[in-house]
Amino acid sequence: MVQNFHLPPAGFGPGSQSGADETLDYMEMPQGMRTYAPHLPEADATEAAAALALLDEIAAAAERVAAGGAAESFDLAGLQSRDRALLAEVMGEGEVSVKIRGIPAVAAQESVFAGVWVLNGSGIDRIEVAPVPSLARERAFEPVRAGGGQAAPKPAGLASAPAILVELLDRSAAFGPDAALHVINLTLLPHSEADLVWLDAALGEGAVTILSRGYGNCRIGATATRGIWRVQFFNSMDTLILDTFEVTGMPEVAVAADEDLADSASRIRSVIEAIR
C-alpha cells in the first residue's frame, strides 16, 4: 500500500539552521592534479649564455613542430655544468615519462613544457621536441616477450578473450599509418582473470611503457603485436577505472597536441626574457 507523502517540518534539514558561522562548508575536492606553475630560476644571463641560446632554439623548434614540422633534437653532451644546471631547472619534470627498452635502453621524461622531452641512455643525452619521443614510436612493438597469438596455451576459465583476440589480430593485420583508431573497452565487457592472462600471453610485451600522471594515472604499454596497446586509467585512489586495448600508432593520451607545443614555445620564451 502506498503511504501518504508528508513534507518535512519547516526548519528541518541541511542549511535550515542558523548559527554564528553561516559560511558554507564545501566538500573538499580531490587533490593531486598536476598543473603548470611558472618557475623563474635565479641565473646570471652572461654566465649561462649557452643555456639561454639553446632554450631559444628549443622554443623555435617547438613552433616548427607545432606547425607540422618533424621532430628536432638537441645534444646536451657539450654543455658546461652551469648551463646544464640552468637547463635542468628550467625544464623541470612534467606529467609523462617513457621507458624504452632495447639497446640502448632510454628513459624519456617530458619537461614542464608539453612536447619537450629530456632523453637519457647509454650514449644518449639530449632534448627532443616532438609530440612523443621518436624512439617510442620506432621501438614500440619490438618484442621484449613475444606473443603466442592463437597458439598461446589456453587456461581454464576463458570467456570473452578468444573473440577479443580475433578482433585485435584482425585490426593488427590491417594496421597502417592511415588506419583509424580502434578501441576495445574491457571495462564494458564481461571477462575473467583467465581472459586477461591469456590475452597477455597471446599479444606479448613490447618495448615501450608510458606513464602519464595528472588527476590519477594512465599506464600505457605496447604489446609485441603490431599496433596494439594496453591503456589503463586509474583514479587518484589508484583504482582501475578504465581498461582498454587500442590499435593505433600511439595512444592519444601520450601525445602532445600542436596547441600544447605552441604554448610551450611561448612559455619558454617568457622564461628566457625573465632571466635576461
Strands 124-129 and 72-75: antiparallel
Q: Where in the chain is the domain with CATH 3.30.1370.140?
A: 49-95+106-131+257-275, 139-254
Exposed/middle/buried for 30, CB within 10 Å: 0-12, 13-18, 19+?
exposed
Q: Which CATH superfamily is domain 139-254 in?
A: HupH hydrogenase expression protein, C-terminal domain (3.30.1370.140)
Task: Write down the pTM of the prediction.
Answer: 0.82
Name which of 133, 131, 57, 43 is nearest 88 in CA terms. Answer: 43
- Residue, of 80 and 276, whose pLDDT is higher: 80
Task: Reply yes or no on whether the pLDDT at 14 is more than 60.
Answer: no
What pLDDT is stored for residue 48 in this prediction?
Answer: 78
> What percent of the chain has a predicted confidence (pLDDT) above 70?
83
Range 50-76 average pLDDT: 97
Per-residue pLDDT band for 28 (boundaries 50, 70, 90) equals: very low
Q: Which CATH superfamily is domain 49-95+106-131+257-275 in?
A: HupH hydrogenase expression protein, C-terminal domain (3.30.1370.140)
Q: How far apart are CA 214 and CA 232, in angstroms?
A: 13
Task: Reply yes or no on whether the pLDDT at 29 is more than 90.
Answer: no
